[in-house]
Chains A and B, each alone.
Chain A
Amino acid sequence: MLSISTEKKGNALVVTLEGRLDANSAKELEAEATGWIESGDHQHVLDFGGVNFISSAGLRAILLIAKRLEPIGGKVKLCGLNATLMDVFEISGFSKLFVIVPTVAEAI
């Protein structure tokens, strides 16, 4: 189960995620992100403070969002990752692909 909520902060769309970002919920995130991009939000800040699980399907969803934003000058930034999640980002090399900062305030 993943809950997804958004809040506009200046130019950025802050996306608060809570729960599990697994193969099932990654599809929901991808679908939501399509809507944000179509509505003109191109600067995404994903707040992982409430996420306790991410799998390769979740990483894939973030990668797809980033790949769609890049050609239109958009960007995905990540924040709030706990130590266990950070391990997964480092082992997969994803920590080098994304801007990862501790808090939402630092991502905006």
Chain B
Amino acid sequence: MIEGSMAASSEVTDQRVLHLPPEPSSLDRVAEVIAVLAQEGHWCDKDRYHVDLVLEELLQNIISYGFPDGHSGGIDLTLQQTQSNILIRLEDDGVAFDPFSIPTPDVEAPLDERAIGGLGIYFACTFMDAHRYIRVNGRNCVELQKRLASASADGS
């Protein structure tokens, strides 16, 4: 990735497409879908956690800041599994925002100087193998790739 963005349909072994309202309940729904995909795809615990975590962080940002009063629209999430990767596309109608443009947090700061902003995006950059933001047809679009540990173990 990420040149061709999502995988060719012949490579996809499992896929979920969700249309979500920008509301807190969407976090639970996505977590449930990831749990099912992870089980069916035999993801290891770490891979499952990392996909779960990064999606929660990105969705929470969109829900909290993307839709101020009067701003309408929704969120579209596509999750694809291939032989060796999880590919994720998250599109939303929220206020234009590139999450990867924010500064990296100071993870060495002591307790009294510690701020939490940016940590979620930092997790996305750390736990995914590739990430990018693009603006498509007036929507925010984030694409992520996670290489499955089981694929590395197979040497594929």
Cα of A52 to Cα of B53 in the assembled complex, Å:
11
Contact between A93 and B111 (Cβ–Cβ < 8 Å)? no
Task: Name the CB-closest residue of A to B126.
Answer: A91
Which has the most chain A C-beta neighbours within 10 Å: B27, B52, B56? B56
A92 contacts across to B, CB distance below 8 A:
107, 119, 122-123
- Give how many A-B residue pairs fall within 8 Å (CB-CB): 62
Q: Give A23-41 as 1s and 0s: 1 = Cβ < 8 Å from B's Cβ atoms.
A: 1100000000000000000
Interface size class of A (residues with CB under 8 A): 20 to 34
Complex partner residue of B52 from A53, A59, A60, A93, CB under 8 angstroms: A53
Pick out which of these stretches binds chain B: A7-15, A42-50, A63-71, A100-108.
A63-71
Is B49 a contact partner of A55 (Cβ separation < 8 A)? no
B27 touches A84 (CB 8 A): no
Query: For window 66-94 of chain B, which residues contact chain A by CB distance below 8 Å?
Result: none
Q: Are A56 and B108 in contact (CB under 8 A)?
A: no
Q: Which of A20, A67, A84, A87 contacts B111 (CB 8 A)?
A: A67
DSSP class of B's interface residues: helix, strand, loop or mixed?
helix
Q: How far is the CA of A55 from the CA of B57 in the complex (A)?
A: 7
For the complex, what is the distance from the CA of A102 to the CA of B107, rounded to whole Å? 23
B56 near A22: Cβ-Cβ < 8 Å = yes
The verdict on B46 contacting chain A, using a C-beta distance below 8 Å, is yes
| Whole-angstrom distance between the Cβ of B115 and the nearest chain A Cβ | 9
Q: Which residue of A lies closest to B55 (CB)?
A: A55
Q: Do the beta carbons of A56 and B111 come within 8 Å of each other?
A: no
Task: Please give me the 5 A-B residue pairs with the lowest Cβ-Cβ distance, nearest first.
Answer: A93-B107, A56-B119, A56-B120, A60-B116, A23-B60
